[in-house]
Amino acid sequence: MSGIPIKRKLAVLWPYLALLALALTASGFWYLGAAKIKKSLYESPNISFNNISVRGFPSQFRLILENYSIQLPQGNLSGEKLTAVRMFYDFNHTIIWAEGSLQFQGKSGDQLTLTGDTIQASHVMSKDGDDYFADARISVDLQNPHIQVRPVFVEGTNISSDQIQFYSLPTETNQTRMLFNAGNLIFAETDNQNILSLKNTIVETQFPKPPDASDNITLNNMILDINLPSGELLAIQADGQLGRSNKGYLDGTLNLNFKNMTSVLKILSTRGILTSDQTALLSFALQLKTDPTKESLSDIDTFPLTLAFKRGRTFFGPIDIGPAPKL
């Protein structure tokens, strides 16, 4: 190649030199970014940890915190290992997953502990958004989670499930849409005596953003398949709107459709929610709704009822069953 002119040599080498320069520039930006991430966390008064590392060169920033504690406005979040990933070319998307257990302690002393096979979340910020939650697509995926809830002033609860999924995303009508989905969701007392067991749980809601205490929440769809102690399955489907009255009570109406309504009445009567007279009245209404081709109440496929909260009272169908919850 000694006889090849220098310009021709440069022409041959130019693409390789350009790639080398691009690689060195990208490497410099990556290491500067990694150093900036570490520096900001070391200097943050709200985050502490035993160890920190930033990996993923050259395509991503993979931040790993070990034995960390994060001060939030609502309390303190701590855990064994937290990993957060952002692609080098897209800082709007963050994927987070936790290993080991997560503990949250509220400022009032309430405690929550979460463990599971997978604890993962995704956060995608809208390009023109400024609210970290209202303007983002958020998803949470928990595989075989076990949650211990320990409030200060009331009895604690243990919650477990095969899988819990949560989604939140902004809509084109300036609303926030939320979806909750869980399989084999179990609520139990601290001694693991079951309180409530649900085979399937689906809740889809929608509300204005940013939410205000006076805004209504639209329940687009709710499906609850409840495992009854008798071994039967009670299926409930609901939709409606709920809000807060001027006096602070829950206000609004839910449209309910029950399957296996006779079991519903039996449970409400056993728990003392309905008196014997109220149970008899609803049973009579059921009898009137019965299809002539059905032989008994137990053969009724579905039965619609409203659960209404108005004027500070709760109405199950036409029956006043007590005060409405105060928010």
Question: What does the mean pLDDT of the chain come to?
Answer: 84
Q: Contact 170/143 with Cβ under 8 angstroms?
A: no
pLDDT-above-70 percentage for the chain: 84
Neighbour count for residue 194 (Cβ, 10 Å)? 12
pTM: 0.79
Higher per-residue pLDDT: 289 or 224: 224
Higher per-residue pLDDT: 244 or 144: 144
pLDDT level of residue 96 (50, 70, 90 thresholds):
very high
Q: What's the rounded Cα separation, in Å, for the pair 279 and 201?
A: 27
For residue 224, the model assigns a pLDDT of 92
Q: Contact 90/61 with Cβ under 8 angstroms?
A: no
* Interval 23-36 mean pLDDT: 75
- For residue 210, whether the previous peptide bond is cis, meaning omega lies within 30 degrees of 0, is yes
Residue 94's SS3 state is: strand
pLDDT level of residue 167 (50, 70, 90 thresholds):
very high
Whether the pLDDT of residue 90 is over 60: the answer is yes
Residue-wise pLDDT tens digits, 190-204? 887 888 899 999 999
For residue 319, the model assigns a pLDDT of 83
For residue 297, the model assigns a pLDDT of 47
- Range of weakest confidence among 29-33, 195-199, 294-298: 294-298
Whether the pLDDT of residue 276 is over 90: the answer is no
Q: What's the rounded Cα separation, in Å, for the pair 167 and 141?
A: 9
Q: Which helix (H) or strand (E) holds 266?
A: helix 261-270
Report the relative pairing of strands 313-316 and 303-310 from DSSP bridges.
antiparallel
Question: Residue type for 248, please?
Answer: G
Residue-wise pLDDT tens digits, 55-66? 988 888 999 999
